[in-house]
Structure formats: C-alpha cells, structure tokens
Structure 1
Amino acid sequence: MSSFDLRLLLDPPRYPANRYAPLADRIKRLLATHANVVFVQAEAILALEAVAISIARPGRVAVNVVTSPYGAWFGTWLSRGGAGVHQVSAAPGQPIDAAAVSACLERLPQVDIIAAVHAESSNGALNPLAELAALARSRDALFVVDAVASVGGHPIDFDQHGIDIAVIGAQKALAGPAGVSGVAVSARAWAHIAASPDVAPSSLSLMDLKRNWLERGRLALPGMPPPLEFWALEAALDRVEAEGIEHVIARHRQAARASRAGLRALGIEPWIARDEAASALVTSAPVPTGVDAHTLIADAARMGVELAPGYGEIEGRLVRLDHTGTRAKFDAVLANVTAYGTALERQRVDVDIGAAARAVNDVYAAR
C-alpha cells in the first residue's frame, strides 16, 4: 500500500484560462520554435492520430518511416485519411538509414509528407533528425516528427531543422504527466491542414483547435480541460526550467553513455551498436541465446530493478534499461546495469559485474 495520500489528487483548483498561453510559450522555448503550440487534452498517442487525420487526404503522398509500432500506426492513420503511404522500415529495433528514405524518395515523382519518430523509447533507437529534415526540404515535403519521447532527452531545434509538425508528451524525459500533450505547427503546416477535409467538431481536428483557441486569443481551451494534468505539466516545466533544458539533455546523454559503457564492460554489446544511433532515453540490451527474457526480467525485479521487455517484433529479444526523466542519474544507471548483469549471471552467462560497475562510475567521475 502506498504511503501517498490519494486524497491530495481530489478537488484540484481550476486551471486559470490566462495560464494556457504562457504554458504553450514555455513549450515553444523547449522546441526552439516560433510556431504555434496547441494542446491535445489526452495522452500523446491521440495527438499523433489527430495530426495524421488532419494532414491526410486523397491524392497526397506520404513517406512514413517505421522504426517501432508507433510509426506503423501513424502510417495506418495516414492511409485511413486517404493518403498514399510508402513505408520505409528499419531492421527490427534499429534506427532508419537515411539512405533508405532517400532511395524511396527517388522512386516517387510526388512527395507531400515525410513522417518519422525522433527517439524511440520502445527500443532505444535514435533516428537521424537532421538528415531526414534535409530530405524533406529537398522535396518541399511537410516534415512531421513524433518527438514524444525525445523532448528533454535530445535537442529538437524545430525552426532550425524546418520541422512542420512536432508532437510532444511530458511523461518521458520531462518527467511530467501523461494526460496532456502538445503539438507544434508551422505556418506552412496550417496551410496544408486548411486544404484538407475538416473533421471538426472532433478531438482529432487540429483546425478545430486553431479556430477555437488560437484564433480566439488563446484564452479558455475548448471542452473540459483536466486541471490536474495542466497543473502537473506546469510543475514539470518549472522543474525543467530550474535545472535548464541543456542540463536535462546532458544528463540523459551521460546516463546513456554510462549505460552503454557498463554493458560493454559486462562483456555485452548494446542492441544498437553505434553510439550516435542510440537514444538517450533507454538503452536496449540483448537477451543472449539460451536466456529466457521473462526470467531475466523477473530476476531483476527481485533486485528492485524494472527491466522493460522489447515491444512488438523484438519482444523476447531485448530488454530496456530505463534512464528517462528523473532516472537519468548515477544510482539508477548503476542499478540497471548491475541487475541486468546479475540476472544474466544467474542464467549462467559469463559477465563481469565488477568491471561494469567501475565503467559506470568512470563515466560519472569524468564529468
């Protein structure tokens, strides 16, 4: 039984209408953009679906990068909206090679949309944002980025990269609530959306949000906004700004370096071999041949460490060491690596746990 007093969650004060616009502006600063930010009053998966529904229509051609089930879902939503979708899929649990996207573009006379996840929390992959942005610019295509996990763990630089739409959630690197999300939308993207069939009134209509919030002076949000989620989002941004977004990103990168160094010192190569292709949110470690993933996870849990399983087609093939948000720190990283190593050792895999602990310590001592 939790010692937390659940009654503290009841009867939260109303979130004042005059705080929504400043909250959106704070998100704009995180994304380094002058674009509009609108709120979707739900977990970010609904915001992603809203984007797909708002930009898709018959006759539009989309190149959709798939590096996890999330990318596959986005392609499904685009298709449902009538767009012609060309999927470019990476090897299981790996980031995309920009050359594969370029090759797909070369085969297409028309490309209107390029969509990709930035950093994957489901497998630890990091897609090459700058290269994908350059490819989108080369075809004058709308560039749509799922930055739900990456915001706070990696720089986004929305304006610099020429991103047109980015979806963010606060529940990953920002260590905030999951029940509200944000969508940054460029002027070019709004023009694209305005030319699409309007599904309003609908929670999946970005144009509805534009008309009923942006064009009305960014005062009261339409519907019944959940005050608890907005207060929590404000508190999360307070904490991020107090630490400094650059420091938050650096803390995640250090956790990833330490995790990867620890795995290699164990004698295990990380699932994603190239450091520059690995996300700073989670580090994926392979499940060696002859080792049962469920047993590995259960053994770690008995040591008080939660190793997450692989998701989708990589289930059973890897486990994820979580160093996202408040877990991007020395003690969590050390616990992850040593618990993974100990669980392997119990399944008769030869590992060097002492060397792994020293490697993690060395990364943190070197700062």
Structure 2
Amino acid sequence: MPDFDRHSLLDLPPYPAAGYARLADRIAALIGTGNDVVFVQAEAVVALEAAATSLGRPGLRALNIVTSPYGELFGGWLKRAGAEVIELRAEPGLPVTVEAVAQALAGADGIDLVALVHAESASGILNPLPEIAELAREKGALLLVDAVASAGGHELDVDALGIDIAVIGPQKGLGGPAGISALSVSPRAWQAIDRTDTPRHSVLSLVDIKRNWLDAGRGVLSGMPSALEFHALEAALDRVEAEGIAAAIARHLRAQRAARAGLQALGARLWVSDENEASRLVTTILLPEGLDAHRLAQHGAAVAVGLSAGVGVVASRLLRLDHTGPRASRDTVLAGIRAVARVLREAGVAVSETAAEAAVDALWTS
C-alpha cells in the first residue's frame, strides 16, 4: 500500500475557474508556443483521437508516419473520418529516416497533413522531428506531433518547428497526472478544424472545446472537471518550473547517457545504437534469442523497478528501462540496471554488474 494518507486525495476544493487559463499559459511557455493550448479531460490517447477525428474529413490527404502502434491508431482514426491516408512505415521498432519521409512527400501530391510521434516509449526511439518539420513546411502541410513521450525530456519548441498541433500528456517527462492532456493548436489548424461538417457534441470534438472554453473567455471548463487531476497538474508544473525546463531536459539526457553506458558495460545490447535516435525517457535493450521480455518483466526484481516489455511488432525481444520525469535520476538508473542484471543472470546470461555500476557513476559525475 502507498505510504501516504489516501484520504487526503478526497474532498479536494474545486479547482478555481481562473486557474485553467493560467495552466494553459504555463504549458504554452514550457513547449515554446503562442498558439492556443486547450485541455482534454482524459489520458492523451483520447486527445490524439480527438485531433484525428476533428481534422479528418473526405478530401483530406495525410502522410501518417508509423513507428509504433500509436501511429497506426492515428491513421485508423483519420481513415474513419474519411481522410485519404498514406502510411509510411519505418522498420519495426526503429525511427523513420528523413530520406524515407522526403521520398514519400515527393511522390505524393496535395498532402494536407503530416502526422508523427516524436519520441516512442514503445521501443525507446526518437524520430527526426526538426528535419520532418522542415519537409512538411516545404510541402505546405499541417504538422501534427504526438509529443506525449518527449515533452519535458526532449527539446520541443512548437513555434520554431512550425508544429500546428502538439499533443502532450504530463504523466511522462513532466512527472504529472495521466488523467489530463493538452493540445496546442495553431490558427491554421483551427481553420482546418472549425468546419460546418466537423463532429460536434462529442468528447472527441475540438470545436466544442473551442466554442465552450476558448471562445467563452477561458473560464471554467465544461462538464465536471476533475479537481484532483488539475491540482496534480499544477503541482507538476510547479516542480518543473522550479527546476527549469532546460535543467529537466538536461537531467533526462544525463539519465539516458548513464543508462546506455551502464547497460553496455553490463553486457546488454542496446536496441538503438545511436544516442541521437534514442528516447531520453526510456532505454531499451534487445534480448538474446530465446528470452521473452514479457516473461522477464514479470520477475519480482523487474516489477519492483518498473522494467517492462516493449510494445509492438518486436515487443517480445525488447526490455525497457524507464527513467521518465522524477525517475531520471542516478539512483533510479542504477536500480534499473541492477534489476536487468538480476533477470538476465537468472536467465543464464553472463553480466558484469560491477562494471555497469562503475559506468553509471562515471557518467553521472562527469
């Protein structure tokens, strides 16, 4: 059981009506945008579905970059809304290449939307967002980015990159609650969304959020906002701002490098060989043949530190070490590597735990 008073989570005061706009402005500052920021009162996958449902229409042509099941879901939602979707699939579990995106855009006329996931927690990869953003800009296409697993851990300057819709969830790099998500929406994206045929009276309608909150003066949110989620979001933003977003990103970079150095010294094989193509929130190893990540993740040592199997086509071969948000620390990285060492050793794989710990310490103090 958690070592806190669970009753303190009950009977919270309502979140103040004027506070929602302040939270939106604080999020905008963290992700570098002057665009509108709106809330979807659900986990970020609902915000992504809302964006696809609101943008999608017959006649819309979208290039949807698929590097995980999340990108695949997004393409499906666009198709359901009537859009024509061109799917660009990367090698399973790996980042898409700039060359592949350039070729796909060159071979397609009239692309209205480019959609991609920035960092993938599913496999621990990072897609080349700045280069893809430039290609989308040259094409005149809207750019939608799933930044759920990158905000707070990777550089994300929405306006500088020309991102029209960025979807974030505070539960990862920002260390906040999972039950609330946010989208930044550019004026150009609102023009594409605010149509007579756009779905209305739906939790998936961004036009409803625009009408009921933005256009109404950004007061109280419609429905019954969860005070718990918004108080938790405010606390998470307090913590991030106290540290500074640049320092938080630097801490995630240090955790990434420490995890990679420690796992390599341990004798594990990194799934992503190039640091610049790897997530700073999750580090993933490729297991030897015959080992199953789902089974290893059930080991008590793995459960205790949050080791997990990958998600997607290569999931059974990938074991993920999580160093997200407050977990991006030396102690968490060391605990994760010790757990990897134990589960591999008990599975019959030779490991060097002493060398791994020395590598982490050397990197963390350098």
What is the TM-score normalised by the length of structure 1? 0.97
2:361 alignment counterpart = 361
Supply the distance in 2 between the matched residues of 1:28 and 1:303 (Cα, whole angstroms): 35
CA 302–337 in structure 1, closer or farther in 2 if over 3 Å, else same: closer
Which stretch of structure 1 is more off in the superposition, 306-315 or 220-229? Answer: 306-315
Counterpart residue identity of residue 341, structure 1: A
How far residue 184 of structure 1 moved from its aligned partner, in angstroms, is: 0.1
CA contact (8 A) 1:296 1:340 kept: no
Which stretch of structure 1 is more off in the superposition, 220-229 or 284-293? Answer: 284-293
1:306 aligns to 2:306 (yes or no)? yes
Q: Deviations over 1:91-118 (max 9, x none)?
A: 1211111211111111111100000001
2:197 alignment counterpart = 197
1:42 alignment counterpart = 42
Supply the distance in 1 between the matched residues of 2:296 and 2:201 (Cα, whole angstroms): 48
Supply the distance in 1 between the matched residues of 2:50 and 2:292 (Cα, whole angstroms): 39
2:115 alignment counterpart = 115
Q: Deviations over 1:206-265 (max 9, x none)?
A: 111111111111111111111110111001000100011111111111000011111111
2:148 alignment counterpart = 148
1:227 alignment counterpart = 227
Counterpart residue identity of residue 142, structure 2: L
Which stretch of structure 1 is more off in the superposition, 282-291 or 63-72? Answer: 282-291
Per the alignment, in what secondary structure is the counterpart of residue 179 of structure 1? coil
Q: Deviations over 1:11-65 (max 9, x none)?
A: 1111111111111000000110100000111111110000001111001100001
How far residue 331 of structure 1 moved from its aligned partner, in angstroms, is: 0.6
For 1:48-63, what aligned pairs fall within 5 Å after superposition? 48-63=48-63
Instruction: Structure 2: give runs of 5+ residues left out of the alignment.
Output: none
CA contact (8 A) 1:266 1:356 kept: yes
1:3 aligns to 2:3 (yes or no)? yes
2:254 alignment counterpart = 254
Counterpart residue identity of residue 118, structure 1: H
Supply the distance in 1 between the matched residues of 2:276 and 2:58 (Cα, whole angstroms): 37
Supply the distance in 1 between the matched residues of 2:74 and 2:238 (Cα, whole angstroms): 31
For 1:1-367, what aligned pairs fall within 5 Å after superposition? 1-195=1-195, 197-299=197-299, 301=301, 304-366=304-366
Counterpart residue identity of residue 308, structure 2: A
- Could you say what the CA RMSD is over the residues aligned between the two structures, in angstroms? 1.3
CA 303–61 in structure 1, closer or farther in 2 if over 3 Å, else same: closer
Supply the distance in 1 between the matched residues of 2:339 and 2:42 (Cα, whole angstroms): 34
Supply the distance in 2 between the matched residues of 1:111 and 1:165 (Cα, whole angstroms): 16
How far residue 303 of structure 1 moved from its aligned partner, in angstroms, is: 8.2
Per the alignment, in what secondary structure is the counterpart of residue 316 of structure 1? helix
Supply the distance in 2 between the matched residues of 1:3 and 1:157 (Cα, whole angstroms): 38
How far residue 196 of structure 1 moved from its aligned partner, in angstroms, is: 6.5
Supply the distance in 2 between the matched residues of 1:264 and 1:302 (Cα, whole angstroms): 18
Supply the distance in 1 between the matched residues of 2:290 and 2:322 (Cα, whole angstroms): 24
Per the alignment, in what secondary structure is the counterpart of residue 238 of structure 1? helix
Identity rate, percent: 54
Counterpart residue identity of residue 159, structure 1: D
Counterpart residue identity of residue 257, structure 1: R
Supply the distance in 1 between the matched residues of 2:362 and 2:26 (Cα, whole angstroms): 35
Instruction: Structure 1: give runs of 5+ residues left out of the alignment.
Output: none
CA contact (8 A) 1:54 1:204 kept: yes
CA contact (8 A) 1:56 1:196 kept: no
Supply the distance in 2 between the matched residues of 1:332 and 1:230 (Cα, whole angstroms): 27
Supply the distance in 2 between the matched residues of 1:2 and 1:268 (Cα, whole angstroms): 33
CA contact (8 A) 1:300 1:343 kept: no
Per the alignment, in what secondary structure is the counterpart of residue 301 of structure 1? helix
CA 302–92 in structure 1, closer or farther in 2 if over 3 Å, else same: closer
Supply the distance in 1 between the matched residues of 2:190 and 2:298 (Cα, whole angstroms): 48
Supply the distance in 2 between the matched residues of 1:262 and 1:53 (Cα, whole angstroms): 43
CA contact (8 A) 1:54 1:196 kept: no
CA contact (8 A) 2:272 2:284 kept: yes
What is the TM-score normalised by the length of structure 2? 0.97
Which stretch of structure 1 is more off in the superposition, 214-223 or 274-283? Answer: 214-223
Supply the distance in 2 between the matched residues of 1:268 and 1:210 (Cα, whole angstroms): 49
Per the alignment, in what secondary structure is the counterpart of residue 85 of structure 1? strand
